[in-house]
A and B are shown apart, each in its own frame.
Chain A
C-alpha cells in the first residue's frame, strides 16, 4: 500500500509547500508512490490518520500548540520542513525583542487582540522524527528524504559546513569580494547555492554541531563590520540556537 502523506502549515510563508507545487517535472511521478491525503494549500480533502505528516512553520500561538499535538497523535512519522519548523527561522527574531514591544509595533493600542507566543521550533512541542532544513527547503533535499522514507531507509544527514561545499564548487570566497558570509559555521546540504550566485550565506540551514562562534565573530569583524552587527547577522536564522 502507498504511504498516506499529509502536509500542514503553521507560522510561515508557505514557501516550502510552494516548492512542492513547483515539482513541475516530477510531480506526476511522485504521486505514483504516495497517496496525498491532506494538503490545504492545494486540495479540499481531509484525513483522519497519516503515515507521514510534513510540518511547515513555527509554533507561535496557543492554537498552533493544540493543532500540532493533534497531528502528532494521528501520524506515524512527523517531519519538520524548512527552517521555521526546524529551529524557528526568521520568525524567532521576534524572540529577541520584548513581546509587548513587538505586539505594540504592529498592532498599536489593539496589541492584546491577538495572542502570540515566542516563535518555537516544532520539536519544542512534539517529537520530530526527521527534518529538512533550509529557507526555503530545496526540492532535491525534500525528494531525498521522501524517497528514503518511502523505501524504508534512513534519510541523509549533513554534518559539513556550507563553506566546504562552496570550495568543492570552486567558487571565489565572498570574503575576498568584500562580503561577510556565514558559510564557515552553517550546516551544508544546499550545495552552497547562495555563494554560488554571488550572495553571502545567511545561515538558513542552522549552525553546525560544535561551531567555533568566537572564531566566526573574529573573522566577520576583521572584514569591516562591528561586533554588534556580526552578532545580528549570526542570529538572523538562529535566534533559538545561538546564545551570544
Chain B
C-alpha cells in the first residue's frame, strides 16, 4: 500500500522518563521508525570521579528511583570486587531477598498500572478504581508487601539505606522476617494466583507480533539468575562478567541521549522475556504453571509478552523469598558488621539482573579508595536498538490499520519493554512524522 504516515508521540506516558516515538513513511516506504530519547543527560560517570567507596552506591542509586535497589546492589558488588571485600552468606541471602522484593514491586507496578490500562481502553489506572476496584486494591496490596520487604530489610524501598560495601548497617530481626513470610504466603500468593487469572483475560488482546532476536541475561549454575552469574547470549552462550564490554559494545546515535548496544546482531533484548527464554528451566513448577496458564512458552519471540514474563517472575519472587527467609532463619541471624577494610585497590565489575534486564557497574579505585573511572551500562539502553528494530519490522506489518491504532500498537510495544529512561540516560516520546 502506498501510504504516507507521520506519527510523533511526544513524551510517551506511563513509562519512566522522557522519550518520543517517531515514525515517518512516504509512499509506503518506511523512512524512519525509532524511539527518540530526550531525557536530559545526567553525567553520573563524570560525577563519580574522586568520590569515596563509601559514597559510590549512595550516588548511583540516584540514577533511578524505580531501579534504585538494583543500582545500589550492583554498585556494591563492583566496589567489593575492586577492593577485595569478602561478604558473608547472610549478606548474599539478604541481597537476594531485596532483589525479589524490588522485582516483585516493579513487575506488578508495570503489569497493573502502566501496561494494563492499554488493554482496557483507559489512559491510566485511576479510572479502574471505579470499574475494577478489587483488582486495583489487589495490585496495591502486592506492591505494599513488596515495598515492605525493601523498607524492613533495607530501611527504605526507594533509595535503600542499610546496604553498604561489605554488608548491612542493620540486620533485620527474625520476627520481622517471619512476618514477611506469613504475608507472602497468606496475602501475596493468593493475590499472585488471582493476578494470573486477570492477566490471562488480558493476554488474548496482546498483539500478535514476532521478531526473533538475541536474548541476553545472566545465567547461574544453581538458580534462576538474578544476583550474580555469567553473561549468557542465546546466540553464543556464556561469557564471564569481566568481558561485558565485548557484549555491550555501546554506540551513540543522534536521536537518543542514552547509548545503544549490540553484540552478535544489530540489536539484542534484555529483561524478563530474555531471562525467561534463557533460564525458564530453572523456575519452580508454580511459576512454570503460571506461564503455561497465560500462554507464555519457552523461546517466545513476541516482545509484547515481556509483561507476561514479568508476572511469571512475580510468582517466582514470592515463593523464592519464602525459601530465602527460611534459610536465613535456619542459619540463625547474626548481627554482623560490614567488612569495609580493603585488601586491594583496582578495578571491579558488578552485574545483576534488575527488573528491566542485565545491569553492569564498573569502577576503578585509586589507593585511597576514591573512584578514578566509572561506567554504568543500563538495561533500557541495551534494549533501545532492539525497540527500534522491532518498530521497523512492525510498522509495515500493521500498515492497513488506522493511524490511531498504529500509534497505540507502537506505544504498547515500547511500554512492554517497561523502559526506564532516567536510567538509560543516566530516555521516551513517540513522533509520527507525516
Contacts and interface: CB of A to CB of B under 8 A. Distances in A.
A197 B162 contact: yes
Interface residues of A, number: 60
Interface stretch (B61-69, B197-205, B351-359): B61-69
Contacts of B254: 113
Interface in A104-136: 105-108, 110, 113-114, 116, 135-136
A140 interface: no
Say whether chain B's binding surface is mostly helix, strand, loop, or mixed. Answer: loop
Contact of B68 (A15, A89, A198, A199): A15
Contacts of B66: 14-15, 18
Contacts of B159: 15, 135-136
Given A24-B144, A116-B41, A105 B68 contact: no
Q: Which of B109, B124, B162 has the largest count of A CB atoms less than 10 A from its CB?
A: B124
A106 B124 contact: no
Contacts, number: 164
A41 interface: yes
Contacts of A198: 162, 169-170
Contact of B65 (A17, A27, A61, A114): A17
B422 A14 contact: yes
B147 A22 contact: yes
B147 A24 contact: yes
Interface string B75-97: 00000000000000000000000
A16 B123 CA distance: 22
A20 to B, nearest CB: 10
22 contacts: A11-B39, A11-B40, A11-B42, A22-B147, A24-B144, A42-B13, A42-B113, A43-B125, A60-B41, A63-B40, A90-B59, A93-B59, A97-B47, A102-B46, A105-B46, A106-B41, A136-B159, A197-B161, A202-B55, A202-B58, A232-B52, A236-B55
A13 B64 contact: yes
Interface string A30-61: 01000010011111110000000000000011
A113 B65 contact: no
Contact of B43 (A9, A40, A64, A106): A106
Contacts of A89: 62
B63 A13 contact: yes
B252 A107 contact: yes
A222 interface: no
Given A42-B113, A135-B62, A18 B158 contact: yes
A221 B113 CA distance: 48
Nearest to A105: B46
Contacts of A39: 124
B238 interface: no
Contacts of B58: 202, 236
B164 A42 contact: no
B50 A94 contact: no
